């Protein structure tokens, strides 16, 4: 028998609850729940590995089965999970020392093995460079060499040694630093273009240059002192030259003027003697014998002024001196 309160009685008038009007709780198999959870987990993993972000300081190289598909710049991209792979490359400018190393604390540590160069005048010089570089080709950087940075350092050392060897030690330490930097950069760019390792030189600068040992430093100081002394002596000599040169030029002008005057006087005297000789020659032409005798006697008076003159015809026995007539 049933009543309206959801209770029924059995034949012995015992009450039992009537559950026929209550909705039963659904039951799910455990295996189905596990499959749903795994599906959702795999879907999340796939979705998370399909998208990747590239920052402004990076390039991304996408490959599939070992073949390069593309190079991505900054942005959000999609790739096929588990099939396509992405490798990101930092394209910002980096720096390293040539001839010295930079510690983790930022201190410069000397590297004599790579910093000491030989110059064109066969002197040793400890010269340090700071090299700035960046990735120019991400694909070549990743796949054309195993250690592109090491190759870059070796190229830098080779270029530095080759260029420094063309300059004297004085030039490398003073006036030729800018030219050395320019030639090293040009040589490195040419070599990097041939090697194609995906790196390029941004800038290279000379940090420091000095003799490698204390003994050589003292020798250089002595050379510099001698050069300063030579410069001082040269300046003093130039000052003395500037002081004496005007006086010497004045004396030279005076000598030239005297010589010109003497020349004019000698020429006038010679011309007068020519005129006199011509006149005498005219007289000689008229009376040659008498003129010849006169010229003879006058010449003898000039040549032998202190001799006594005695005139004889060669047959006269008595010689009469002519002193009283003088």
Residue pLDDT, tens place only, 182-217: 999 999 999 999 999 999 999 999 988 887 766 666
Q: For the chain, which residues make up each domain, given as ranges?
A: 94-212
- How many CB atoms are located within 10 Å of the residue 186 CB? 13
Q: Which residue has the higher pLDDT, 269 or 7?
A: 269
CA distance 79 to 54: 13
Please identify, in words, the CATH class of the domain defined by 94-212: alpha beta
182 φ, ψ to 5°?
Answer: -65, -45
* pLDDT at residue 318, as a whole number: 61
Q: How long, in residues, is the chain? A: 326
Cα angle vertex 22, ends 17, 26, to 5°? Answer: 125
* Contact in structure between 125 and 212 (CB atoms under 8 Å): yes
Distances (CA, A) of 308 to 142, 297, 300: 127, 13, 11
Distances (CA, A) of 67 to 81, 83, 86, 91, 196: 16, 11, 12, 22, 19
Residue pLDDT, tens place only, 82-130: 788 999 999 999 999 888 887 777 677 777 778 888 889 888 888 899 9
10 pLDDT more than 90: no
* Contact in structure between 184 and 131 (CB atoms under 8 Å): no
* pLDDT at residue 321, as a whole number: 57
Provide the Cα torsion 314, 317, 319, 320; round to 10°: -110
């Amino acid at each position: 028998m049933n009543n309206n309160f959801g209770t029924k009685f059995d034949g012995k008038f015992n009450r039992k609850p009537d559950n026929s009007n209550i909705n039963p709780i659904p039951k799910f198999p455990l295996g189905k729940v596990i499959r749903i959870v795994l599906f959702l987990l795999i879907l999340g993993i796939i979705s998370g590995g399909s998208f990747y972000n590239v920052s402004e300081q990076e390039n991304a190289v996408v490959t599939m089965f070992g073949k390069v598909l593309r190079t991505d710049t900054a942005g959000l991209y999609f790739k096929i999970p588990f099939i396509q792979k992405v490798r990101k490359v930092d394209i910002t400018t980096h720096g390293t020392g040539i001839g010295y190393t930079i510690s983790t604390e930022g201190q410069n540590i000397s590297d004599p093995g790579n910093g000491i160069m030989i110059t064109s005048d066969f002197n040793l010089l400890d010269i340090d460079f700071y090299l700035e570089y960046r990735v120019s080709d991400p694909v070549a950087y990743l796949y054309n060499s195993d250690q592109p940075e090491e190759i870059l350092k070796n190229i830098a050392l080779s270029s530095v040694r080759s260029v420094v060897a063309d300059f004297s030690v004085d030039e490398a330490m003073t006036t030729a630093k800018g030219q050395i930097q320019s030639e090293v950069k040009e040589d490195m760019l040419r070599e990097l273009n041939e090697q194609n390792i995906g790196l390029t030189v941004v800038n290279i600068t000379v940090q420091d240059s000095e003799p490698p040992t204390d003994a050589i430093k003292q020798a250089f100081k002595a050379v510099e002192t001698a050069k300063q002394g030579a410069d001082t002596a040269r300046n003093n000599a130039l000052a003395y030259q500037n002081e004496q040169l005007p006086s010497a030029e004045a004396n030279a002008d005076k000598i030239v003027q005297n010589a010109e005057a003497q020349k004019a006087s000698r020429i006038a005297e010679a011309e007068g003697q020519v005129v006199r000789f011509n006149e005498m020659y005219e007289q000689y032409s008229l009376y040659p014998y008498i003129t010849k005798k006169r010229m003879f006697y006058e010449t003898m008076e000039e040549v032998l002024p202190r001799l006594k003159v005695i005139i004889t015809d060669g047959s006269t026995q008595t010689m009469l001196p002519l002193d009283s007539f003088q």
